[in-house]
Chain A
Amino acid sequence: MDKDSLILLYRQMLLIRVFEDKSAEMYARAKIGGFLHLYNGQEAIAVGAVAALRPDDDLVTHYRDHGYALARGLSARAVMAELFGRETGTTGGRGGSMHLADVSKHFWGGYAIVGGHLPLAAGLAYAAQHHQTGRVVFCVMGDGSTNIGTFHAALNWTQLWRLPVIFTVENNQYAMGTAIANHSAVTEIYRKACAYDMHAEQVDGNDVLAVREAVCRLATRARNGEGPALLEAITFRHRGHSMADSDVQRPKSQVAEWKERDPIPAFAEVLLARNLVTPNDLEQIARDVEAEVEDAVAFADASPEPARKTLYEGIYAEPVSNMQIDGSLIGPPTLGPVIFKNGVSKHG
């Protein structure tokens, strides 16, 4: 990798970190509602993986998706606006934090049902195979997602049909508050692939270069028709499961120990040691990133809420007129207003 690309990795990780901290603040100020799952501590995985992929490789993620969105180049403005539930957000305020997407950038969305997106990733990979596009699908999930049926069904199917998917497990060692030893009979997640005769690797998820290298290798395999792979990235989250989590389950000492292994300062050390940056450069990057996130908040705050009249839009690909008037189901699309005996037209 050249110098600029390496510095970009650092910048992206820092952008995600600052963005997440700001999101937490906005959540506390009730600008953001619902579930907000932050990515602090795991940034090296999204950034390393996306750097390893082609821009037209498909991304399918779980709900902890801000990092992937930013790494894939969705603007901080659009992502923050989505968290605020605004028309200018990545899905116009329909999906929120857990369902960011930009299909023009082959980011097919964050999904909030644990394991639910794995078959979708397999299906996208089938489409790539059918159309011979040479694309691979990168599908990410947490350690807790490797126990559900769709995980096993998707691994089996993709291996059976040699579909080009990289299933990546961000093993942050907890599923909400349940430690991995209490939720999985096999705690080295990559070993689960052997049940399906699937290639598997384990990587240090806090080392952005190691992640990038592993994903490069697995993407090449998949592109060459050698089939899917399971990649386990060992990591830890610095915050609770979501903003609703007071994080009382994880031992303080464990959290402190992993904060010592923070991927961002670790990578700064690498850049400094290789004389690719000076401390001043790093400070400049930090100032730029802060400004970008401040701008995103201002943009989101100034953006309009989605218009009430758009409520029924997009439930179906083509408008179904009988459902768009007020949501009730009256006549076929071709039917005019329904005239009642008393002469009152209720619809149309």
Chain B
Amino acid sequence: MAEITYREALKRALREEMTRDPNVVIWGEDIVAYGGGGAYGVTAGLAKEFPGRVRDVPIAEEAIVGVGIGAAMGGIRPVCELMTINFALVAWDQIVNHAAKQHHMFNRQIQVPMVIRSPAGWGRTASTHSQTFENWLASIPGLKVVYPSTPYDAKGLLKASIRDNDPVFFIEHLALYGTKGEVPDHDYVLPIGVSEVKRPGKHLTVVTWGRMLVETLKAARTLDAEGIELEVIDLRTLRPLDLAPALQSIRKTHRAIVVEEGFRTLGLGAEIAASLQEMAFNDLDAPIARVAGLEVPMPYAKNLERATIPFAEDVVAAVHRMMEKKY
């Protein structure tokens, strides 16, 4: 099996689905010409392979999503790229009031089989360009939210999202695009709504997703040396949220930490910790802890930026606090 990047895995998913289904189209800003295919290169080359089906669109996010919804209603399977997730705010009405409502509000007469792809992330881009909104998105009935952390999951879940008959917000991460992992050449699809144990361990459960999986696995390797084994659960889908593997894990480890990149207040970690405690209170030996981003608008300065985002050392520190009963 070849090792490929997360970016390449996404592109292969797009190529395979476009080949399979002539109704799949890709729309986004600067995805055809600029830098050879999108601000982050995911669609590079696809416009040549699929003439007319990969198109540049105006910088009007409300229309990118809204026209996508209408096309999906009419039997197209649009994959709409928002250059970064920060710009999804411009399209918020279309995402929340339209994409997510159509099927239920019109009593199942209308389906919206579309995918909105967009990267979260940061990189000296300051406060308006360094955000993540998965907690907002995952709170909306009618929407599915997928956030893969590995190239393997990225390919299998993007294919599933394109085939899904509901609107899927598919979150990527700038810092993951260049990461590598094994991806089989054959056509495989992963189920939406199923989380996965990415690493077995017996002392403490970490529930995480997206780029924080990378940091958590790094922390796990550090803690191995101290004889502390983390069991790491990757949610992969944030709505519907599959907490079953986390529950099973807690029954074994009796301790859990949720690690997320976004803000702590009303973050997805708050929901996960609350749900797990409701369902597994008697299994827990310690309160569920959270590692999250600091609640400041992201500064530009390198040191300040780094200080706001959780890294492996923050996970290690949280594990130490829990093992030392400092809560």
Residues of A within 8 A of B (CB): 58, 60, 90-92, 94-95, 99, 101-104, 108-109, 111, 113, 116-128, 130-131, 149-150, 153-154, 156-157, 160, 313-318, 320, 322-323, 328-335, 338, 340-342, 346
Instruction: Tell me, rounded to whole Å, the shortest Cβ–Cβ distance linking B60 to chain A.
Output: 4
Q: Which residues of A contact B103 (CB under 8 A)?
A: 314-317
How long is the Cα–Cα vector from A150 to B92 in the complex, in angstroms?
A: 12
Instruction: Tell me, rounded to whole Å, the shortest Cβ–Cβ distance linking B3 to chain A.
Output: 28
Return 5 A-B CB contacts under 8 Å, by A number: A91-B109, A116-B93, A123-B73, A130-B23, A333-B193
How long is the Cα–Cα vector from A316 to B108 in the complex, in angstroms?
A: 9
Q: Which residues of A contact B323 (CB under 8 A)?
A: none
Taking a contact as CB atoms under 8 Å apart, the answer to whether B104 and A332 are in contact is no
Taking a contact as CB atoms under 8 Å apart, the answer to whether B69 and A123 are in contact is yes
Q: Which residues of A contact B165 (CB under 8 A)?
A: 317-318
**B174-182, B241-249, B303-311: which lies at the A interface?**
B241-249
How long is the Cα–Cα vector from A254 to B73 in the complex, in angstroms?
A: 41
Q: Which residues of B contact A313 (CB under 8 A)?
A: 108
Instruction: Tell me, rounded to whole Å, the shortest Cβ–Cβ distance linking B157 to chain A.
Output: 13
Taking a contact as CB atoms under 8 Å apart, the answer to whether A120 and B69 are in contact is yes
CB of B267 closer than 8 Å to a CB of A? no
Contact residues of A: prevailing secondary structure: mixed
Taking a contact as CB atoms under 8 Å apart, the answer to whether B97 and A322 are in contact is no
List 13 additional A-B contacts (Cβ < 8 Å) besides A317-B164, A323-B240.
A95-B107, A99-B106, A102-B109, A109-B106, A123-B74, A130-B74, A130-B76, A131-B74, A150-B63, A314-B103, A315-B141, A317-B165, A332-B195
Q: Which residues of A contact B173 (CB under 8 A)?
A: none
Contact with A along B54-78 (1 / 0, CB 8 A): 0001101011011111111111101
Taking a contact as CB atoms under 8 Å apart, the answer to whether A329 and B71 are in contact is no
Interface size on B, residues (CB 8 A): 57
CB of B110 closer than 8 Å to a CB of A? yes
Q: Which residues of A contact B106 (CB under 8 A)?
A: 91, 94-95, 99, 101, 103, 109
Assess A119 versus B67: contact at CB under 8 Å? Given A101-B109, A315-B141, A332-B244.
yes
Residues of B within 8 A of A (CB): 23, 25, 57-58, 60, 62-63, 65-76, 78, 93-94, 97-98, 103-111, 113, 141-142, 144, 164-166, 191, 193-195, 239-244, 247, 251, 275, 279-280, 282-283
Among B76, B78, B280, max chain A CB count under 10 A is at B76
Q: Which residues of A contact B241 (CB under 8 A)?
A: 329
Cβ-defined partner of A119 (8 Å) among B74, B94, B108: B94
Instruction: Tell me, rounded to whole Å, the shortest Cβ–Cβ distance linking B70 to chain A.
Output: 2
Taking a contact as CB atoms under 8 Å apart, the answer to whether B63 and A322 are in contact is no
Taking a contact as CB atoms under 8 Å apart, the answer to whether B74 and A124 are in contact is yes
Cβ-defined partner of A156 (8 Å) among B60, B74, B110, B240: B60
How long is the Cα–Cα vector from A338 to B243 in the complex, in angstroms?
A: 10
Taking a contact as CB atoms under 8 Å apart, the answer to whether A119 and B69 are in contact is yes
Taking a contact as CB atoms under 8 Å apart, the answer to whether A127 and B71 are in contact is yes
Cβ-defined partner of B191 (8 Å) among A113, A128, A332: A332
Instruction: Tell me, rounded to whole Å, the shortest Cβ–Cβ distance linking A223 to chain B.
Output: 16
How long is the Cα–Cα vector from A194 to B211 in the complex, in angstroms?
A: 47
**Residue of A at shortest CB range from B110?**
A103
Cβ-defined partner of B63 (8 Å) among A128, A153, A334, A346: A153
Taking a contact as CB atoms under 8 Å apart, the answer to whether B107 and A116 are in contact is no
Q: Which residues of A contact B23 (CB under 8 A)?
A: 130
How long is the Cα–Cα vector from A273 to B29 in the complex, in angstroms?
A: 57
Among A99, A315, A342, max chain B CB count under 10 A is at A315
Closest 5 CB pairs of A and B: A123-B70, A119-B66, A127-B74, A317-B165, A120-B70
Taking a contact as CB atoms under 8 Å apart, the answer to whether A121 and B244 are in contact is no
How long is the Cα–Cα vector from A92 to B164 in the complex, in angstroms?
A: 25
Assess A320 versus B67: contact at CB under 8 Å? Given A94-B104, A123-B74, A340-B280.
no
Taking a contact as CB atoms under 8 Å apart, the answer to whether A91 and B70 are in contact is no
Assess A126 versus B76: contact at CB under 8 Å? Given A113-B93, A318-B165, A346-B279.
yes
Assess A121 versus B60: contact at CB under 8 Å? Given A101-B110, A341-B251.
no
Q: Which residues of A contact B75 (CB under 8 A)?
A: 127, 131
**Residue of B at shortest CB range from A163?**
B67
**Residue of B at shortest CB range from A96?**
B105
Instruction: Tell me, rounded to whole Å, the shortest Cβ–Cβ distance linking A163 to chain B.
Output: 9
Q: Which residues of A contact B111 (CB under 8 A)?
A: 317
Taking a contact as CB atoms under 8 Å apart, the answer to whether A122 and B60 are in contact is no
**Residue of B at shortest CB range from A89?**
B107
Instruction: Tell me, rounded to whole Å, the shortest Cβ–Cβ distance linking B127 to chain A.
Output: 23
Taking a contact as CB atoms under 8 Å apart, the answer to whether A126 and B67 are in contact is yes
Among B23, B103, B142, B165, max chain A CB count under 10 A is at B103
